[in-house]
């Protein structure tokens, strides 16, 4: 049974893995838009300067240049903050990368409220929805450093566009890094309730599941790092086995994984679904973890929603 381990940086894991992949694959090129220190692509740039292009503050054109490199036979990784990579560059990602089926991997750091002090302009909460809606796009939201390492290798090995969403904050290690594209990871077994989580909230899912176990409730925890392709069989098994699903994501509830879970179960095996995430608002400056609490993702709120579902299912009074 998975437990919550010490925190480790996803960005560091990305930067180091990129060098390892680059050593094996001379065809790999990396682009950044003046944030290479923060995204950690600078590590690749120091090691392979001839294959590294820091294009400055031009995120949309970083994406079209990456597409041109990819169409010409290179595998291109392009990194910047998520708000710029998914938001600022959206239609270039759509046309130059996805429509052209260009082999570009967007690894976006600093997603969500966990950006903290930079405030609402930089805290994109819509990127999963934006990227998931693009035909041909693979979308991965790692919960920790081991999954980040596995995800970088997996998207490198897979032909076609990909979006990998990383956080600025280090996150507790919660997986063994056995990530596979298209597969949900069952981090904890259980039959009374399912908690589906992605990214930073997987650790909170495990914490609440452990608390529930103390009072005799068994909660299954599924890490859906592979948001697209989505492991529909694993979700529907969970719906049948547990009859209720709680979804946790550091993202807008309007267009994120909760909406995906609700629509998928609704069409195939309707069960009560509750979504924990950010309501239809922008974020603000503050301590990263305090922001999660303030914007509806506190442990207390997660507990309440879990009990609400258990009551709805008649599993508790």
Residues of the shown chain interacting with other proteins in the complex, contacts defined by CB under 8 A: 29, 50-51, 53, 55-56, 58, 60-61, 63-74, 76, 91-92, 94-96, 99-101
Quote the CA–CA distance of 245 and 266 in Å, as a whole number: 12
Nearer to other proteins among residue 76 and residue 302 (C-beta): 76
Query: Kindly report the CA angle at 89 between 291 and 200, in degrees rounded to 5?
Result: 30
Nearer to other proteins, 13 or 92 (CB): 92
Q: Least distance to other proteins from the beta carbon of 49, Å? A: 12
Q: Which residues does 114 contact at the CB level (< 8 Å), separation at least 6? A: 123, 167, 168, 169, 200, 250, 288, 289, 291, 292
CA 168 to CA 9: how far, in whole Å? 8
Helix (H, G, I), strand (E, B) or coil at 25: coil
d(CA 138, CA 281): 26
Q: What crossing angle do the helices spanning 232-242 and 257-268 adopt, rounded to 10°?
A: 70
Nearer Cβ to other proteins (62/140):
62
Identity of the residue, 81 or 224, whose beta carbon is nearer to other proteins in the bound complex: 81
Closest CB to other proteins among 96 and 194? 96
Query: What minimum distance in Å lies between the beta carbon of 212 and other proteins?
Result: 49
Give the containing element (helix H, strand E) for 263: helix 257-268
């Amino acid at each position: 049974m998975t437990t919550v381990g010490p925190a480790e940086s996803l960005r560091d894991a990305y930067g180091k893995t990129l060098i390892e992949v680059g050593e094996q694959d001379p065809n790999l090129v990396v682009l950044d838009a003046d944030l290479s220190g923060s995204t950690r692509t600078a590590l690749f740039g120091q090691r392979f300067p001839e294959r590294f292009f820091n294009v400055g503050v031009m995120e949309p054109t970083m994406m079209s240049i990456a597409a041109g490199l990819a169409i010409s036979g290179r595998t291109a990784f392009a990194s910047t903050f998520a708000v710029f990579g998914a938001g600022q560059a959206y239609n270039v990602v759509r046309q130059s990368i996805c429509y052209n089926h260009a082999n570009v991997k967007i690894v976006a750091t600093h997603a969500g409220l966990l950006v903290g002090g930079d405030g609402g302009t930089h805290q994109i909460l819509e990127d999963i929805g934006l990227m998931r809606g693009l035909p041909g796009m693979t979308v991965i939201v790692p919960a920790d450093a081991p999954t980040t390492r596995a995800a970088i290798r997996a998207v490198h090995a897979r032909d076609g566009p990909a979006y990998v969403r990383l956080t600025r904050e280090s996150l507790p290690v919660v997986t063994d890094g056995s990530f596979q594209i298209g597969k949900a990871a069952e981090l904890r077994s259980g039959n009374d309730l399912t908690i589906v989580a992605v990214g930073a909230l997987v650790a909170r899912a495990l914490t609440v599941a452990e608390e529930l176990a103390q009072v005799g409730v068994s909660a299954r925890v599924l890490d859906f790092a592979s948001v697209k392709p989505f492991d529909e069989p694993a979700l529907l098994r969970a719906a049948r086995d547990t009859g209720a699903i709680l979804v946790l994501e550091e993202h807008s509830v309007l267009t994120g994984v909760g909406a995906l879970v609700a629509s998928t179960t609704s069409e195939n095996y309707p069960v009560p679904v509750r979504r924990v995430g950010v309501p239809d608002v922008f974020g603000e400056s503050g301590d990263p973890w305090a922001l999660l609490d303030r914007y509806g993702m506190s442990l207390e709120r997660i507990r309440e929603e879990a009990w609400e579902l258990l009551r709805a299912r008649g599993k508790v009074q």
